[in-house]
Amino acid sequence: MSEKLTAFFYTLGVYIYAGTGALCILLGANFLDYSALATILFVDPVTARSHGILIVEIGVGIAVMAVMVILYYNLVSAGKFDEGL
């Protein structure tokens, strides 16, 4: 996995998290008020909260995975990581 691909993944994870919150704001609710997603997911507010939490957790998981890979690469290469291992 190259450094650019890893950077793409941790950026993607942050965008998924922040994008979900921004979408809730655009739908007229508070940041990360997942019940607002019910209108675009065509489900009841309780199910929308469950799906919203899942979406955010996927974004956080992707970001954490990518940061852990970057940390591992830097530790293994003694800080000289350029193009992957």
| pLDDT score of 79 | 64
Closest CA relative to residue 52, chosen from 64, 66, 40? 40
| pLDDT score of 76 | 82
Question: Rounded distance, CA 48 to CA 45, Å?
Answer: 5
Give the pTM. Answer: 0.83
Question: Rounded distance, CA 66 to CA 40, Å?
Answer: 29
Output the tens digit of pLDDT for each of the chain's 85 residues. Answer: 788 899 999 999 999 999 999 999 999 999 999 999 999 999 999 999 999 999 999 999 999 999 999 888 888 877 665 665 5
